[in-house]
Amino acid sequence: MRNVFDYQIEYSGLQNRMAQMFDPKSGHTVMLAVDHGYFQGAPAGLINLRETVEPLLPYCDAVSPTIGGLKTSFNSNMRTPIILRATGGNSMRMPDELDDEIITVSVEEMLRVNAVGFTVSCYVGLDCQSQTIQSLTDLTDEAHKYGLVSIGITAVGADPVLTKFVKGEREDGGELTADDKKEAIKYLKHASRVLSENGADIIKTYYCDGFEEVVEACLAPIVIAGGTKRPTKEALEFTSNAIKAGAVGVDMGRNIFQNEHPVAMIQAVRAIVHDNKSPKEALEFYEEIKNKS
Ligand code: R5P
């Protein structure tokens, strides 16, 4: 006996592009974020973008550069799916205006460079909330005509309260209090849900304790950004916690390319994301690769 669900009625380009970004076995993804220069200028680890990226590419399921980074520092022969940063216009030289982001890449340009998807930073709760959510909805609407995947990022700019949540520490470097942690869950849960309600296919957000609540409340799959560089063990621990809590992968930058051994680090992250290794096992793997190299 058959029923209608045995047939795929329509091939979907969007689903096919999603499939390119995710490992078919684990259903998870390790995306490498190298787009930081769009507002940070030349951060440590990305001064020579080409040199940073080349040894890491074999270990990425997708890579997230800016349009300028892609055109100058990547080889057209590469086969890694591209997730293009599609918003910007801000700069750390004006921290108070970090949330003032606009669309910087057209859908036509995304297609020209053969991107499978794009990222848009949305500043929920900040001055430019509606402008940045509108960038997400406008681009998603246009890009979905061609089956490109939209990723909404819950960005926090320089807001002192929100940056505390994403850094996982207080302004003075001290540990978050129980109240801070509750507020972090509340904010990240709210912001992720808002972006999913506004039509993002994937949400990129930051890890916090109690991340299960963020995942549960979000209508779309979640990947985590890594945030500021942490010690290797700590970065592997929060990656593992995020995956256990239901994240479908990472779109991670500084905790990989600013690590003392980026190639070992990305493989250790993969071991957690794809092979379900514990942080301890992943750290041993990291040490093993590091010592060999
Ligand atoms: C902001 O610069 C971008 O959205 C980054 O791609 C994002 O923050 C992920 O990079 P990281 O893991 O360094 O936070």
Mean pLDDT confidence for 257-264: 98
Span from the CA of 166 to the centroid of ligand 1 (angstroms): 11
Tell me the C-alpha distance between 110 and 217, whole Å: 30
Span from the CA of 80 to the centroid of ligand 1 (angstroms): 18
At 168, the pLDDT band (50, 70, 90 cuts) reads confident
pLDDT digits (tens, 9 = 90+) for 152-167: 999 999 998 899 988 8
Q: Is the pLDDT of residue 115 over 80?
A: yes
Tell me the C-alpha distance between 156 and 190, whole Å: 13
Which pLDDT score is estimated for 29?
98
Cα 132 from chain centroid?
17
The response to whether residue 226 sits with its C-beta less than 6 Å from ligand 1 reads: yes
Which pLDDT score is estimated for 73?
98
Query: How do strand 202-206 and strand 102-103 relate by DSSP bridges?
Result: unpaired
| Mutation test residue for ligand 1: of 29, 32, 35, the one with most atoms within 8 Å of CB | 35
Q: Which CATH class is domain 4-292?
A: alpha beta
Which pLDDT score is estimated for 244?
97
Residue the block writes with tokens 């982001």: 101
- Mean pLDDT computed over every residue of the chain: 96
Q: Six-digit token pair at 132?
A: 């940045």
Helix (H) or strand (E) holding 71: helix 67-73
Which pLDDT score is estimated for 144?
98
Report the interhelical angle of 178-197 vs 129-143 (nearest 10°). Answer: 40
Q: Is the pLDDT of residue 172 over 80?
A: yes
The response to whether residue 221 sits with its C-beta less than 6 Å from ligand 1 reads: no
Q: Is the pLDDT of residue 210 over 80?
A: yes
Tell me the whole-structure pTM to 2 decimals. 0.96
Cβ neighbors of 235 (< 8 A, separation 6 or more) are 226, 229, 255, 259, 265, 269
pLDDT digits (tens, 9 = 90+) for 211-259: 999 999 999 999 999 999 999 999 999 999 999 999 999 999 999 999 9
Domain chopping of the chain, boundaries: 4-292
Q: Which of 65, 89, 90 is nearest to 75 (CA)?
A: 65
pLDDT digits (tens, 9 = 90+) for 51-85: 999 999 999 999 999 999 999 999 999 999 999 99
What does R_g of the chain's alpha carbons equal in angstroms? 18
Other CB atoms within a 10 A radius of the CB of residue 231 amount to 10
Lowest-confidence pick of 49-53, 98-102, 171-175, 288-292: 171-175
Ligand 1 atom nearest residue 34's Cα: 6
